[in-house]
Chains A and B, each alone.
Chain A
């Protein structure tokens, strides 16, 4: 008797009790489906968090000026400019793990077109900033290094500002714009970036060259940089080293003795991002382990039904033994039945899980992230559950005494 025949006998036995077989399988279907769907949900949530952080720019460090303390009032970061334009140059040229660095000066100003006005954040910066924030220009052009050097009056608009000033989805390139009564030419429209993690609209902004910003919008001290410096490290792995090097460089340039607090603050956004991602990862693990427990419960359901089935079919087992079935053949028959139940459940569960994941992905706009390794592991596990939990009932069946079994009522 070969394996194929054993499978056929098992299959026929299962078909004799279709409803029961289906209900037994359901436990495993739900278990496997839940594992797959939960992991997909977790992965989707993780990637949407990662996307939110990626929108801010990757491998990003932000340096802000330090705090001043006057008359016992501590002013908070940025209350006293301590960063200088030479600091920026030093960061750009002296730290090998820094890929790009850009100053960002900000002011809230009223911007005026021919017939509309809008109050928004005006940023003064350099072309590196767009690169660091991975923020391309959708229409027109970005301003260039020479725009910065010669302080040309050019501006890049975010989508929201363009809508407010020139009407929805109008092309603002070439239009004129006044900021603090100074005319600027709109040379480009920034790509839509959406909202930040805390709901701030990235697209509600106007960018101008930092030199123009300092000359026409907000003055200030000549050598001090009255804003923040955005730094992009060469890679994620280099980020901690870049952070250390920049800190050391700035401490050195600011002549801070050992033990004295930094007069600037350096923030690592990637750390926040990975902390967030770790949070969702923990949630995924939690959900998956709960789902895994339900898979285990499904396995116990199989064992229960197999035990009932062995009792119910005691006479059949006795007969099979009387006409020549060896104990190991009876064992194989019931094992294969349990295995068939659980692996069918596994297969249905994959469909169920993938379906749920598809639905949720389209519902919440997450990317569909079905991990093939999780699918494989849960199918394999469901088959093992069948064999594991089927073993005891099958062993029980194979140890029956044919005489007692034949006489069983």
Chain B
């Protein structure tokens, strides 16, 4: 990204309050940060630090109580539900901890779903979904239903679904939470590849291991940014290969 261009994400003094009956709970207490195109950001923090709330706001699923949030140059603080849905559809891709695939629905159809709501014609939809599944290495599993796929494969279908709309930003909420360490490496490797291709990645995690693959780590504590630093990311692909050769040592 050329310097001086407007950042993809700009938060200024974002506050989020929740009301639990009479009690008002301030979960985000004024967050200001910006993320540029192509960054790979890990958001960390213990539970209750506000990272999920921040994630929901970044993902246009929720609106800040106060402050401004602009995404890809649009102020989304004041948009209604319909406009937010369109924003999510056009700009964002989501990856969830529990995959959230539609059961009894083929991988291909799961991946096509965002394009259905984007109004893409069925032939093009199928073509693009196939390409997205190829990109995550599942070209041979198009007709499989989620219950016929392993956890790692299911998460890759979910990543293909996030990719298919050609988003500028992919938000992943604990994407490796339900995966073993090897498939976690696979997923992170895939994320790094996507990051290199120009998609901005934001991964929310509480695992420090996972955060090492990001180029920037933001740590939240009690609704405020505690630290925000840039780092040299570890290479997930390389580590995966290393671990594979280790397990292949002959007995």
Contacts and interface: CB of A to CB of B under 8 A. Distances in A.
B100 A324 contact: no
A331 to B, nearest CB: 11
Interface of B is mostly: helix
A201 to B, nearest CB: 69
B64 interface: no
Nearest to B90: A324
A402 B114 CA distance: 15
A18 to B, nearest CB: 11
Interface residues of B, number: 27
B61 A16 contact: no
A274 B81 CA distance: 63
A325 B100 contact: no
B161 to A, nearest CB: 7
A327 B165 CA distance: 20
Given A322-B59, A402-B61, A406-B96, A327 B116 contact: no
A314 to B, nearest CB: 12
Interface in B87-132: 88-90, 94, 96, 100, 102-105, 113-114, 116-119, 122
A1 B119 contact: yes
Contact of B88 (A323, A327, A328): A323
Contact of A324 (B85, B102, B122): B85
Contacts of B103: 16
Given A322-B61, A323-B94, A324-B85, A329 B102 contact: no
Nearest to A315: B100
Interface string A15-41: 010000000000000000000000000
B186 interface: no
B56 interface: yes
Contact residues on A (Cβ < 8 Å of other chain), bracket: 20 to 34
A326 interface: yes
A200 interface: no
B11 to A, nearest CB: 18
Contacts of B104: 16
Which of A321, A322, A329, A403 has most chain B Cβ within 10 Å? Answer: A322
A52 interface: no
B86 A326 contact: yes
Which of B82, B85, B102, B161 has most chain A Cβ within 10 Å? Answer: B85
A323 B114 contact: yes
A328 to B, nearest CB: 7
A320 interface: yes
A403 B102 contact: no
Nearest to A330: B85
Contacts of B113: 320, 323
Given A1-B119, A5-B116, A403-B61, A322 B82 contact: no
Which of B102, B103, B104 has most chain A Cβ within 10 Å? Answer: B102
A311 B85 CA distance: 21
Interface string A77-100: 000000000000000000000000
B13 interface: no
Interface of A: 1, 5, 9, 12, 16, 315-316, 318-329, 402-403, 406
Given A5-B122, A320-B113, A406-B96, 13 more contacts: A1-B117, A12-B105, A319-B100, A321-B85, A322-B100, A323-B89, A324-B88, A324-B90, A324-B114, A326-B81, A326-B82, A327-B81, A329-B117
